């Protein structure tokens, strides 16, 4: 089976081709970072317009790279939510317009399921069950994953997502959008022990997380120091986030009893986080799986792959839910539980 995957939920236009025998055959991405940089964050209307401009050429490029024509596809998967409504509509309408005349299944995929499964794209990746740490610009969650679609939320951030905290802190340090990679780069030159920043909810006994107090502590630090201290502030901030995530990950694994931790989402690209998880959990016999850094942030590959997983499962159960025959669906706000129930046989 060969699936085209389309991702347009925020500020990356991603298109990819996944084949059940050959794996990932093509994967192209257009980033809107330069477009939004002047505004310090994503401007939704500009994002939608840019997706419109780039999506069809990217699909052509993907098919060319994968030596595939539209008529050779078995399905088209797109990110149906959560995300920016206008941006989601671009992917949804193009996926539907291409699939309908060819009588192909259209597969509405949850963006976080895409992130969650991206670590499994590697043929040598661990299998279900596993505990997942999903850390992106919009979400910070621990999930217990027994099998495809069986996602139990164990805990999440009660305020800012980890990526959002990186972005806001980077802004305080005068770094360009998106802040995560820029802050991580600056942190490499700094001393992570210099500032004792708080670790909110570290000892809460559950898997809830909080990052907004940390950002406030950084703003006080910035107000009383000079730019010469910014590398130390960045390193101390990164260390606090990593300490929190590693400690909660350890707790999550104790709670689920799983031997595997999968880390996904943009913050999963953070090298300090990867090293610390390996140092703390790898040495305790836990199997760690990270998608390659380029698949941690938004991309079409994770949507094509999730589409294949869902298509395979639905074909086996004889329950392929095509979006409504005359239209398509998007869900700017969508939890994974409601999403999974859309795939239950009716
Ligand atoms: O998963 P993603 O591309 O988009 C969402 O679904 O939100 O994640 C983007 C987030 C941004 O907040 C970005 O600053 C952060 O991931 N990020 C990083 C790194 N690379 C991206 N944060 C820390 N370190 C990084 N290396
Ligand atoms: Zn994402």
Tell me the DSSP string of 128-188.
SSEEEEEE-SS-EEEEEEEETTEEEEEEEBSSS-HHHHHHHHHHHTTPPSSHHHHHHHHHT
The pLDDT, as a whole number, for residue 40 is 87
Sign of CA dihedral 182, 188, 194, 197: positive
The pLDDT, as a whole number, for residue 186 is 98
- pLDDT < 70: residue spans in the chain: 320-326, 346
How far apart are alpha carbons 60 and 63 in whole angstroms?
5
* Ligand 1 atom having least distance to the Cα of 139: 7
The pLDDT, as a whole number, for residue 321 is 58
Measure 11 CA to ligand 2 centroid, in angstroms: 9
Measure 105 CA to ligand 1 centroid, in angstroms: 31
The answer to pTM > 0.85 is yes
Q: Which of 37, 168, 180 to mutate to test the pocket of ligand 1 (most atoms within 8 A of CB)?
A: 180
* Structural domains of the chain ordered from first start: 2-117+297-341 (3.30.420.40), 126-290 (3.30.420.40)
Residue nearest to atom 16 of ligand 1 (CA): 266
pLDDT per position as a tens digit, 115-151: 999 999 998 999 999 999 999 999 999 999 999 999 9
333 to 9, 80, 85, 204: CA distances (angstroms): 11, 10, 9, 28
318 to 96, 99, 103, 279: CA distances (angstroms): 21, 20, 17, 44
Q: In this structure, what token pair is assigned to residue 125?
A: 């990746």
Neighbours of 111 (CB within 10 A): 28
Residues with CB under 6 A from ligand 1: 10, 136-138, 163-164, 166-167, 178-181, 184, 265-267, 269-270, 297-298
Measure 255 CA to ligand 2 centroid, in angstroms: 26
Pick the ligand that lies closest to the CA of residue 33. Answer: 1
Strands 287-289 and 260-264: parallel
The pLDDT, as a whole number, for residue 325 is 58
Q: What are phi and psi of 288, to 5 degrees?
A: -110, 135
Q: State whether residue 42 is helix, strand or coil.
A: coil
Whether the CB-CB separation of 238 and 155 falls below 8 Å is answered with no
End-to-end CA distance of the chain: 24
Q: In this structure, what token pair is assigned to residue 20?
A: 């059940």
Measure 82 CA to ligand 2 centroid, in angstroms: 9
pLDDT per position as a tens digit, 162-195: 999 999 999 999 999 889 999 999 999 999 999 9
Residue nearest to atom 14 of ligand 1 (CA): 180
Q: In this structure, what token pair is assigned to residue 66?
A: 């994968």
Residue nearest to atom 21 of ligand 1 (CA): 266
């Amino acid at each position: 089976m060969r699936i085209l995957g389309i991702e347009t939920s925020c500020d990356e236009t991603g298109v990819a081709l996944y084949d059940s025998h050959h794996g990932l055959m093509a994967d192209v991405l257009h980033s809107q970072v330069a477009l939004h940089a002047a505004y310090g964050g994503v401007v939704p209307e500009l994002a939608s317009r840019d997706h419109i401009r780039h999506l069809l050429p990217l699909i052509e490029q993907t098919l060319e790279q994968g030596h595939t024509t539209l008529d050779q596809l078995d399905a088209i998967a797109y990110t149906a939510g959560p995300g920016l409504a206008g941006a989601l509509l671009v992917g949804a309408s193009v996926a539907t317009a291409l699939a309908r005349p060819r009588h192909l299944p259209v597969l509405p995929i949850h963006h976080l399921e895409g992130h969650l499964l991206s670590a499994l794209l590697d043929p040598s990746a661990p299998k279900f069950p596993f505990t997942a740490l999903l850390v992106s610009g919009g979400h910070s969650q621990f999930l217990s994953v027994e099998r495809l679609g069986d996602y139990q939320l164990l805990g999440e951030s009660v305020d800012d997502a980890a990526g959002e905290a990186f972005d806001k802190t980077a802004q305080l340090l005068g770094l360009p959008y998106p802040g995560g990679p820029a802050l991580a780069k600056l942190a490499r030159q700094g001393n992570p022990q210099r500032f004792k920043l708080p670790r909110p909810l570290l000892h809460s006994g559950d898997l809830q997380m909080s990052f907004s107090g940390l950002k406030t502590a950084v703003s006080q630090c910035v107000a009383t120091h000079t730019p010469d201290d910014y590398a130390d502030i960045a390193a101390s901030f990164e260390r606090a986030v990593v300490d929190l995530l590693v400690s909660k990950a350890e707790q999550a694994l104790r709670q689920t009893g799983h031997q595997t931790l999968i880390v996904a989402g943009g913050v999963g690209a953070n090298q300090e986080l990867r090293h610390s998880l390996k140092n703390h959990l790898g040495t305790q016999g836990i199997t760690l799986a990270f998608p390659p850094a380029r698949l941690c942030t938004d991309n079409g590959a994770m949507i094509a792959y999730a589409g294949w997983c869902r298509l395979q499962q639905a074909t086996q159960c004889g329950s392929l839910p095509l979006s409504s025959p005359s239209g398509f669906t998007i869900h700017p706000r969508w939890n994974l539980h409601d999403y999974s129930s859309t795939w239950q046989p009716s």
